[in-house]
Each structure stands twice: as structure tokens, then as C-alpha cells.
Structure 1
Amino acid sequence: MRDGRTTLSKFLIDALDRQCPSRRASGLSALLIDVAASIKTIAATLTRGALDGNYGSARTANVHGEDQKKLDVLTNDIFLQHCEWDGLLAGMVSEEIEHVYQIPPGYPRGEYLLAFDPLDGSSNIDINGAVGSIFSVLRVPQDGAAANTTATSPAAADRSAFLRPGHEQVAAGYAIYGPATMLVLSIGNGTHGFTLERDVGNFVLTHSDIRIPEDTDEFAINASNERFWEPPVRRYVQECKDGKSGCRERDFNMRWIAAMVAEVHRILMRGGVFMYPRDFRSAGRVQGRLRLLYEANPMSFLIEQAGGAAITGRERILDVVPCDLHERVPVILGSKNEVTRIGRYHREHDLGTDRPFSSPLFRERSLFLPETPA
């Protein structure tokens, strides 16, 4: 497949239908075309900006208690309308909906599950900043509630069908709405980028087999939360800030865009590390901030397929088994060698080996009396 010559449809036909004929009836390529249609519609809507009166607050809150923008609600509806009708899905989960979205009775149900964040970085909307959409596709579990199927009438998916580790994803991706609209996708054969050719409405392959450099001099973290970080993250960030004069012996650049899509896209294009680590903001309780099913899992899938790594700090993100549809996790992902280092710092902290040696014999409880002032 050649960059600049291959459309998304041709790419999917070749990768899923021709190379994997046993999966031809699965409909995954058709589902991803529906997702791409959602992204095209959202891109056109965002291009209109404030002209259509879609900026500002919707005066409602989502399941997380966060203020919804008008475009949060609109883009969520766009995804639902494009993907519910064609008999490919058994259910959907969205950041903007509390429970599993059931396929309407008038439409057939299929063998896939879709989880999505319709508009990542929506706090950037009113400043015309970077925003995006994130999605994850799972196959209905064969032993789950949604697998109680007949050939003509599959059962509806329940929440348990979605509560599976990210390594079971069959596809994942995101769209970034910037100077150009890009769709970055993986179906388990690497990570590939497509650019929307607006004149004809096609996504065209422009970045095939993206690879993340294993080393980097760039990291992204919200430094305003430093007082809430765990010691391993403070240690890593301080070493980066110390630059050439510190133990890393080289200078680092720090970035923060406040949109996960934009942060991950930069890493895929030129390397780097993105961190939204554990912190202690909720009544002393340690927790993450990003949602596992439709933020951390799809992004980790893309990063690993591009040769990077993604961890919570203490475990691989794609191995985390969710307990809730909107579960949050810490996220550290990007260039493999830096992510590996941060993981090592967490292990050393948990073992206590990152702390300076302390001897009770020669400190406060010493056999030697302190000198008395003359």
C-alpha cells in the first residue's frame, strides 16, 4: 500500500478482507468506515466554529460531573447515529453516557462493541485549540451475555461485555482535528495515519507503519499538579528539568496541550512521553484521571503497535481488567526507553531502594553524643 495513493476503504479491504478471508463476514471494515464517516461529519461541524452557534456550555453535566459543551453532546449524537444502524454493533459506551447504549429495536445487532470519547480536549473548543475523537472496538465475548445469539437476533450487550482488558481490542484509533483532519488507526498490523482529502471526502493513507523513536528528549505533563504526584514521577520530572547539569546529562523539553489526542499524536510523529500519573487529589485516595475503556486502552494499543510502551506506572495498561465502564487509570506512555525508566522508578520506590541509606547508629539515635556549643 502506497502513501498518498491508498484510501481508507482500500486499506481496510486489503488488510481485513483479502489478507484475512476468514474474517470477511465479520464486518469490521464496514464498522470502521462508519466510524470514519462520523469523524468526517464532526470535522465539518468543527470547521464551522461558532457560526452555527455550537460553542459554549450545554448547561448539563456528563456522568463524571463535568460540564458538557454543546459540541460534546452534538459529537456524541453524531457517533451514535452513524454507527447504530447497520447491524455491526451489539452496544456502545461513550464518555457522555452513563450506561451501555443499546442498539434501537428497529436495527439489527452485530458482533462488535464500540467505546468512544466523541470530543477529547473539549476545554480547548472555545479557544480554537486542538481537539479529537478516540475510539476502541471489541468483539462480543463468545461466553458473554451478548453472545446469547441467534443468527437473526443477537442479544443486547450488557456492561460485562465491555469489562475486558485492552489487549482484546480488535481495532482502535483517534481523529485529530487540526489544520488537517487525520485519522490514526490500528487493526493489529501496526499504526497508520490517514489524512482527510476534503475536496473528495476520502481519508488517504499518508503515514504508513508509524514507528516511535525509543529515546526522546521531550515529555508532557501538567506541572501544576506536581504537589499531588507520587515520588517516582517527581524523581523523573526533576531529572528531566535538571537537564545537562543533572544525572541525565542532556536537556529535555516539556509540553502540555490539555488534549490527549494532541499529546499522543505528537509522540507518534516524533517521539516523547505523555504522563497523567496517579495523584492524591480525591480525599487522599490514589487514583488516575483518564478513562480506561475509551481513552487509555485505545491510545495504548496505538502506541504499542508503533513500538512504544504504555503503563500505569506499575503495570501494562492493556493488561488492566476494568471493573466499571468509566473506570479511570493513571497513564504513562510513549517512547519505550523512557517509559521503561519510569516503570523502574516506580518499582524502586515500592521496594524502598530509591531512598537514601539511613543508619540509626550514626543519626539521631547515635552512640556518639553531639558536640556541645563552646
Structure 2
Amino acid sequence: MGTPAAGKTALAAGLIQKLLKEGLRVAYFKPVAQFAHGREEDDDVALMRSLLGAEGDGGNGTEWSAVRMAGPSYLSLGAQRDDDARRHVRRIFEDKAASADAVVVGGSAYPYAYAGCGLDDLSLAGELGANALFVFTADNDFRLDQALFFARSARQAGIPLLGAVLNNVPRPLLAKTEGIYRPVLEREGCPVLGVIPRRREIASPTVEEYVETLGGELLAGENALDRLVGEVVIGAMTADSALTYFRRSADKAVFLGGDRAEVALAALETSTSVLVLTGGLYPDVRVIARAREKNVPVLLVHDDTFTAVEKVGHLTRRLKPGNAAALSVTLENVETYFRWSAVVEALR
């Protein structure tokens, strides 16, 4: 369990691969599933199904998830506390556990999500008697506060605390994470099982994921949607200073109004993964022509710049079935930076 952009799915995928490699029978279960628009299955379930195959249901045909929820407006859509739903979650979990050495349980976007109907991660961990593993990204001190808060909440609720993993840590913050965050967590009785540096191969979203999140109209670069986006830059500078400014960032998504042709052209002369033109304003034909020459995707959206940037604020790479290179990185991270033996010990 943990927060968005912390890399919970990547850690789970790496751990599952490692446990399989160690000869354990592994099942996966996501009690509360969310289905993205147009998809027939929760993304995490689809990924774990590809890793585990038929064995992922515990070998006895049990479901991979128990409850389908509608996101942050779930109460408005009629969801309420349902003891039958919790019992259903427990039945599926027990069926899986009966024929597996380890059941990896996937949490919701936030540990407190769906608390209004008793289906938050902490409540379900208590219901299932599961060990809690918190996954956070240590990019500022408030993230540490989150980890401490949830660890204390778990302890007060009587939930076994396996520990915390500080994941997707920006490399400039690794020394602070090891020297300050780790000691604070461990002093508070929360073992740190790993400090995992950020790997762009599994952390940076693709242009395709930007298109899916923002919608809009793709004007160029249709065959370059697999490019990774390292950071977001807002093209609010003058045309004269744009080139110097853009050269400071690589693999960036540049957000700017469609009427700012000179700034857009400057962005295309630097390492840009995608141009996002806001306000529904079609760009100068020179921008489209240059983008096609450079094979840079150009996305036209009707949102204003602030709204569009806000929509991608928590966007991270969505691991997909069959992406062998990315899945190999998740296994490498677990073997190199995560004390996976603590998980095996907790299963005994």
C-alpha cells in the first residue's frame, strides 16, 4: 500500500518475479479494482495475470479482484459500507492462500481510499490478517510524514507491519534518504526494507499515456508515442529566451498555448518528447511541419495550460503485459535494493 507515483505496481511485479524465481507458489489479489475507461480489466490485474498465468488465481480458479469501484466519486454513485463485500474479499483471499505460499495483495491508489465503505487498505489488511508493506517516494519531508502516519495507524489498528520501502527516489535525494529518512523511520519502529532509486525505464510515463490522460487531437508524431517523458516544462517564457530555457531539460513535455508558434518551434529544436498545445488553438503550419520532420508528437487539447498540467501531475509509467525490458528492471530493483528475504521470513 502507498501513494500514487510511488511505484507500488513495479515493486509488486518485481517481488512476484523474485518469489517465483525462489520456487514459491505465488498468487495475486487486488480486493478493490478500478477499470480505466475503455478497459475490461484493472491494469494491475492484467499485468500480474501475464506474470503468473493460471497459477495467479491460486490454482483453483478464484477471482483476481472482488469489488469494482468508480474512483473518487464512489459515494455519489451509491457505494456504501457493505459487510457482504468484505466477507467476499475474505473468502477470495482465503481460497488463494489455501493453495499458495504467498499472496501478494495490491492496494488502492491511497491507503485511505474507500474508507467510506470500509474497503480502505488498512481495514482490509486487518480483515485479512495480512502484513502491511508501505511504499512511498521520498521526494520531500512530507512524504516521510505520510509514511510515519500510516505506520502508526497500522500499529494502532493491530496490523502486522512488515516495513516500508522508499521507492522511486530521485538520485540527488538518495543520500538524504539513507542518512535522514531511514533512521527516523526505524527509530519509530518501521523497518526500512529498501531504498530504490528512480529508474526512468519504469517511472517515466510515455507520450501514449499523456495522450490517454489528456485526450485531445494528435496532430503529428503518431508513430513516436512510445517516447518517455522525463519532466514537464511550461512554455511561459519569451520567444527570445525560449531556446536557452528549453536546452536545460531533456525528454520533456512542453505545455503552451497553440498560438505561441515561435516558442513551440524553439522547443522542437531541443530534446522534446511531446508538445502539448492548450486552449484548443490550432498552431501555425510551421510548427506541424517541423514536428513531423523531427517526429515529435503534437497534442492539441481544449484545457487551459494549468488544468492540463494538473491532469498529468501524478502520471507515472503504466507497466504493460509483455514489456519484458521494463519487467526485467523491476526484478533487478528487488534483487539489488529490496530486502526480499524479510518477505519470505514473514511467510513462515
Query: Is the shorter-chain TM-score for this pair beyond 0.5, marking a shared fold?
Result: no
Q: Which has the higher helix share?
A: 2
Highest CA radius of gyration, 1 or 2?
Answer: 1
Q: Which has the higher strand share?
A: 1
Q: Which has the higher contact order (CA 8 A, sep 6+)?
A: 2
**Could you state the TM-score of these two structures normalised by the residue count of structure 2?**
0.30
